[in-house]
Structure 1
Amino acid sequence: MRLAIFASGSGTNAENLIQQTQKGLAKGDVVLVVSDKRQAPVLKKASELGVETAEVIPSSFEDKQAYETYLIERLNAAKVEFILLAGYMRLIGPVLLQAYEGRIVNIHPSLLPHFPGLDAVRQALEAKAKETGVTIHYVDAGMDTGPVIAQEKIAIELDDDHVSLTKKIQAVEHQLYPHVVNQIVAEKTRGENE
């Protein structure tokens, strides 16, 4: 299955997913990495791993519909079958949602529905939560509201700060996302063969 990753920042999850697929530890083939930020580090990491990249800046387009129409053209050109969001800090709009209905997933650093949106780590720490975690879910029109595919809990220790909790979350993300990708590819492949 041909995969695209959308990311806005450093790309730790994107880099991990690419490496896992290239080693055969995760199914699928990452054929395109898209970022909505100029010179996002994820683009350099993906390029160094031999994956095509696209820097697609929303402000370069008339509106969100034009932006997403262009994204679909890029995805179609790369024959992308499924989109993985990995730190993509933008809501997916109706044009892209319709074109890839049921074929977009996101990873979020909390146990949704708790702490949706930006800086879930800070939200969890400020709430003095005893646990947080990682959620992987299908994307719908809301913010972090789509059907949950997988979740894993992480205890928040008294001495955890933003840095330590982020590291714990990333360690879980790097295990859980490839596992879920394997499930998705297996399900989609099985569905096509039936």
Structure 2
Amino acid sequence: MLKLGVLASGRGSNLQSIIDAVEAGEIEAEVKVVISDNENAQALERATKHQIEAQYVGPEDYSTSNGFEQAIIDQLERYDVELVILAGFMKLLSPYFIKYYQNRIMNIHPSLLPAFKGLHAQQQALDYGVKVAGCTVHFVDQGMDTGPIILQAVVPVKEDDTEDSLATRILEEEHKVYPEAVKLYAEDKLEIEGRKVIIKR
């Protein structure tokens, strides 16, 4: 059974969607540990509620970012994590960390990548005047939101949308496609060929 480790900095709603899918038997996987760089993250509370190991790793406790990342790696290794899930983790991971888990880190971003990378993607989409927005699950590489795309979901943009209203509707789709991407990985149905992710049916 696939062992998952989740890194989260905030409320952890995408974490919850994955936990729910695992507990419902929809994903052949187990969330082994949830790690946060924010000791007040709701994600840690969600983990504890579901009897999942919850770990706080504080950046301020380490003199270098390398030391901080190594502490996270040590925890992930302790639980034999095979796939790392980023669920609102606000720290940028170094090339060392990404290489350590090459093609074994997933992230979700609230835009149809490669459009609107980085922060406030929903507001970027509104400012640009697009007619559709959405979300993207991708493998993490050394760029920001540039890794191979696994799944995407489209959300129509309404004339009266605000950043919050659009974000809310996109989040509903995130809660569907992120568990689906993890499920495909658990079933060994994802194959990376250059920039493309081939889904084997």
TM-score, normalised to structure 1's length? 0.93
Deviation at 1:95, TM superposition (A): 2.4
- Tell me which residue corresponds to 1:167: 168
Q: Deviations over 1:63-111 (max 9, x none)?
A: 1111111111101111111101111112111221122111001000000
Structure 2 equivalent of residue 61 of structure 1: 62
SS at match of 1:170: helix
Unaligned 5+ segments in structure 1 are none
Contact 2:29–2:186 (Cα < 8 Å) also in 1: yes
Task: Look up the SS of the partner of 2:188 in the other structure.
Answer: helix
| Structure 1 residues 77 and 188: CA distance shift in structure 2, 3 A | farther
Mapped contact 2:44–2:54 kept (Cα < 8 A): yes
Distance 1:172 1:114, change over 3 A: same
Unaligned runs of 5+ in 2: 192-201
After superposition, the CA RMSD in angstroms is 1.6
Distance in 2 between residues matched to 1:189 and 1:85, nearest whole Å: 18
Please state whether the residue corresponding to 2:114 is helix, strand or coil.
coil
Q: Match of 2:103, as an amino acid? A: G
Contact 1:84/1:105 (CA < 8 Å) preserved in 2? yes
Work out the CA distance in 2 between the residues paired with 1:40 and 1:66: 21
Q: Which amino acid aligns with 1:150?
A: L
Query: Which residue does the alignment assign to 2:151?
Result: 150
SS at match of 1:153: strand
Which has more helix, going by share of residues? 1
- Note the C-alpha offset of 1:189: 10
Structure 1 residues 111, 103: CA separation in 2 closer, same or farther (over 3 Å shift)? same
> Does the Cα contact within 8 Å between 1:28 and 1:185 map onto a contact in 2?
yes
- Shift in Å at residue 188 of structure 1? 7.0
Helix, strand or coil for the counterpart of 1:187? coil
Partner residue in 2 for 1:52: 53
Q: Verify the 8 A CA contact 2:140 2:147 in the aligned structure 1.
A: yes
Q: Which residue in 1 is equivalent to 2:99?
A: 98
Q: Within 2, Cα distance between the matches of 1:107 and 1:121?
A: 13
The answer to whether the 8 A contact 2:27-2:186 is kept is no
Q: Which residue of 2 aligns with 1:129?
A: 130
Work out the CA distance in 1 between the residues paired with 2:84 and 2:136.
Answer: 16
- Which residue is 2:113 aligned to? 112
User: Conserved in 2, the CA contact under 8 Å of 1:69 and 1:95?
Assistant: no
Matched, 1:11 2:8: no
Q: Which residue of 1 aligns with 2:87?
A: 86
Residue identity over aligned pairs, in percent, reads 38
- Would the aligned equivalents of 1:61 and 1:67 in 2 still touch at CA under 8 Å? yes
Please list every run of at least 4 consecutive aligned residues from structure 1 whose deviation after the TM superposition is greater than 6 angstroms.
Answer: none
CA distance in 1, matches of 2:45, 2:38: 12
In structure 2, give the amino acid aligned to 1:112: L
What amino acid does structure 2 have at the position aligned with 1:52? E
Counterpart residue number, 1:2: 3
Q: Using the alignment, how far apart are the partners of 1:150 and 1:165 within structure 2?
A: 19
Aligned residue for 1:16, secondary structure, equals helix
